Structure 1
């Protein structure tokens, strides 16, 4: 039976956050940012295992971060880029995961993910699909800047989507694609699958699945999460 596993690359330093600790370890609503995603996956019966890929020299990691977890384990094999961490993580997971199992790669700094989004992604991808990712259709007009930060071009937003995570692909196919195209430095798994000749499916994500990148993003994500909780409590 095909299984679903989660890989969370968490080896980045998050330099744009301008914080002492990497952003995935910063507190959000009473627990580290990373723990929010872990808790979502831990509570889902659809998910068999969760693998966290950290840097070998990570001085901020603590086993206490996984207190109470039953299907999450840490792999200290992170690389110097997101793609390298995913590739090394897939290699380290090989003894636990079949080549035809699905792997959901999720950003460590997307704490707003909930079970409904994950279930929507899983339900949208059939056995005949190459895989897919959560994403949002772009709502804003896009401008391309010139070297002096003046508008050089307005880019039509029709058919443009903003990629989110999880991004879900077969373990063997994703590992092969990364092995072939890692030197090109893909920015996400969907891109490396595109380079390998596949067309990943876009599945509607959610605004609260925002990636925390800058300091003010924490307040934005917290507000979105609290608003969603208030809506659920009111039902």
Structure 2
């Protein structure tokens, strides 16, 4: 990885994979385009990212045949790349290549954030940047697990899992562009988040406490909850 000039500090970019189909959400189309509180889910997400001054740019990765983004969530300040892949990992890796083509350097930071985490707050993102910008690896927003965990087998409890030292991963997840490209290329399509790929290279990402509201809209009930929370915000 080529170091950047000391007079040019690393930039921070956001990358939003937005090529999923949202099968578990029970919606008729991709969940990122479902409307809640007056706008599409991903539009709320991008609005939050736009309120983070330390982000030099935001790249949204959509599927090559996506014709819905502009109608539901066009944001002038965001870049759009129609390079989405069959998996999240593929979409992020293709997005990293697009960022590099736009001038992002290997030592620049990339904050990968789920399109369906539309309740993220700018101050949480700023806290992640502050915690990770001097770190050798990078890190992610996460929450310590509070509930008792059960392992299931055939619809019944097979075991109680020790929750101590267990954290629930959130996004954004913040890593150097060059390191993340290397990690995702080596890990393949099986990883479900960027930290897993970084871990597979032998690194230990930093855990930065997130917020309970920063949950990922996955199940039908999540949308009703997100609607209520968004409508209570100023």
Q: Is the 8 A contact 2:39 2:72 kept in 1?
A: no
Aligned residue number for residue 73 of structure 1:
79
Task: Quote the offset at 1:129 in angstroms.
Answer: 2.6
- RMSD of aligned residue pairs (Cα, Å): 1.4
Mapping for residues 72-151 of structure 1, pairs under 5 Å: 72-96=78-102, 97-146=104-153, 148-151=154-157
TM-score by length of 2: 0.92
Deviations 1:138-193 (A, max 9, x none): 111001112x211111001100010000000000000011111115x101000000
Aligned residue number for residue 196 of structure 1:
201
Q: Helix, strand or coil for the counterpart of 2:217?
A: coil
Aligned residue number for residue 173 of structure 1:
179
Aligned residue number for residue 216 of structure 2:
211
Distance in 1 of aligned mates of 2:161 and 2:12: 37
Distance in 1 of aligned mates of 2:175 and 2:231: 31
- Which contiguous aligned blocks of 4+ residues in structure 1 show a shift greater than 4 angstroms? none
Q: Helix, strand or coil for the counterpart of 1:192?
A: helix
Q: Helix, strand or coil for the counterpart of 1:134?
A: strand
Task: Quote the offset at 1:135 in angstroms.
Answer: 0.5
Q: Is the 8 A contact 1:37 1:111 kept in 2?
A: yes
Which stretches in structure 2 are left out of the alignment for 5+ residues? 1-8
Deviations 1:26-49 (A, max 9, x none): 111111100111111212210100
Task: Quote the offset at 1:60 in angstroms.
Answer: 2.1
Task: Quote the offset at 1:127 in angstroms.
Answer: 2.4
Distance in 2 of aligned mates of 1:38 and 1:170: 21
TM-score by length of 1: 0.91
Which stretches in structure 1 are left out of the alignment for 5+ residues? none
